[in-house]
Amino acid sequence: MDSLKLQYGQVLLVDNGGFFPEEDNSQSKAWFLMDAMRLLGTDAVALGDRDLRFGLSFLRDQAKRDQLPIVCANLVYKTSKRPVFATDLVKKVGTVKVGIFGLISDKVDLGPARDTLGVRDPTQAAQQAVASLKKKGATVIVLLSQLGKVESEDLATAVDGIDAVIAGRNVPMLQKGRLIKKTVVCYGGEQGQYAGRTILTLDANRTVSTGDNEVFILGPEVGEKPEIAQTVKAFEDAFNEQQRKYEQEKAKQNAVKEVEKNPDKFVGAEVCMRCHTEQGEQWKATKHAQAWKTLTDVHKDTASECITCHVAGFNQPGGFLSGTDTPAMANVQCENCHGMGTQHEAFSATPHQVTEKVCTQCHKGDNDPSWNFAQKLPKVIH
């Protein structure tokens, strides 16, 4: 854009929509792209069905936050038939008044907003938009189309007065645009890897006499603006971290589901103490009952290699997941030494002795170099 603005005096930057990501957990990527459009100084943005996938309120709130000029001539509320966004706009570019309008396909799924929104006939909406823009003084008219290749071309044939069409929604990438009657059509492909440059030559009345389009790949030979590259990297780093947390949370939820399927699980000391009150009170006076605090005090409560010896049943059915999700399973509890609570009946049916082997699962090596079973047992026995 910087290069084009240096080379040409009257430049308009538009995006014809369909820019929202396809992944359900990528809303932050959607608003980042809208932030980027504002940063680039985008003059008008159209709307594709993909941009409604997170709901109308999400899109409208982000557009308002970024003050992004969204145009769509045929997206309406079903009940009132009123347009959802501005149907068109006139932009003064140098000495020229350029009229811009957008169209969305009437054959698409409108996502969560499908019950409240409808789509008017694109041809009829285009005819009205062209008439409205000319009435407002526009001498150049641009359509941002989300109709697909064939329908965009058919509309350019059927509706007079459109000087340039930016075709979108599953369109191919054609390096040279096509002339449909007097309309120049640009085909920029998908995924934002290409930028289309449409040059319109004007006559003395500021109306189009000739037009030409060429599409350029945004490859390594296109220089990067350092501050923009830094902004993108910062976002990507944060997004990747967000995705990691999302995957961890997903794994945690799956673990909970597995717990629900498993008949044997940890139940927690509070359940044991309903019957074993005396033993529970004695346990509360031991360091085992403060094991979790010893981790949080030294900020090691996120280190999995440490957590396992300071909680009950780490990452096991019914056991500790995190200090936030399962606080009742923090600390070294009854089940660390005596086994899962749901196995209590089998455990108590025969004489059972807690041996040193149970203790040395944690009290070993660097964890407890001065370990002595005979000396430590009296501190926890009951």
Three-class DSSP category at 167: strand
Angstrom distance (rounded) from CA 331 to CA 288 = 6
For residue 243, the model assigns a pLDDT of 81
Surface-to-core class of residue 101, CB atoms within 10 Å of its CB (0-12 exposed, 13-18 middle, 19+ buried) = buried
For residue 37, the model assigns a pLDDT of 92
Superfamily of domain 2-220: Metallo-dependent phosphatases (3.60.21.10)
Architecture of the 264-380 domain = Orthogonal Bundle (1.10)
Positive or negative, the CA dihedral 59, 61, 63, 65 is negative
For residue 376, the model assigns a pLDDT of 92
For residue 322, the model assigns a pLDDT of 86
Mean pLDDT taken over the chain: 91
Token couple for 224:
């990067």
Edge-to-edge, what's the strand order for the sheet holding 96-104?
A: 88-93, 96-104, 140-146, 164-167, 183-187, 178-180
Task: For residues 17-25, give the mean pLDDT.
Answer: 86
For residue 253, the model assigns a pLDDT of 77
- Name the residue ranges covered by the structural domains of the chain: 2-220, 224-261, 264-380
With residue 304 as reference, give the H or E element that holds it: helix 304-307
Q: pLDDT confidence of 63, banded at 50, 70, 90?
A: very high
| Gap between the terminal Cα atoms of the chain | 77
Q: pLDDT tens across 177-190, in order?
A: 999 999 999 999 87
Cβ of 321: how many Cβ atoms within 10 Å? 20
For residue 260, the model assigns a pLDDT of 66
Q: pLDDT tens across 32-58, in order?
A: 999 999 989 999 999 999 999 999 999
Angle between helices 27-40 and 226-261 (to 10 degrees): 170
Is-above-0.85 flag for pTM?
A: no
316 has pLDDT over 90: no
Pairing of strands 164-167, 178-180: unpaired
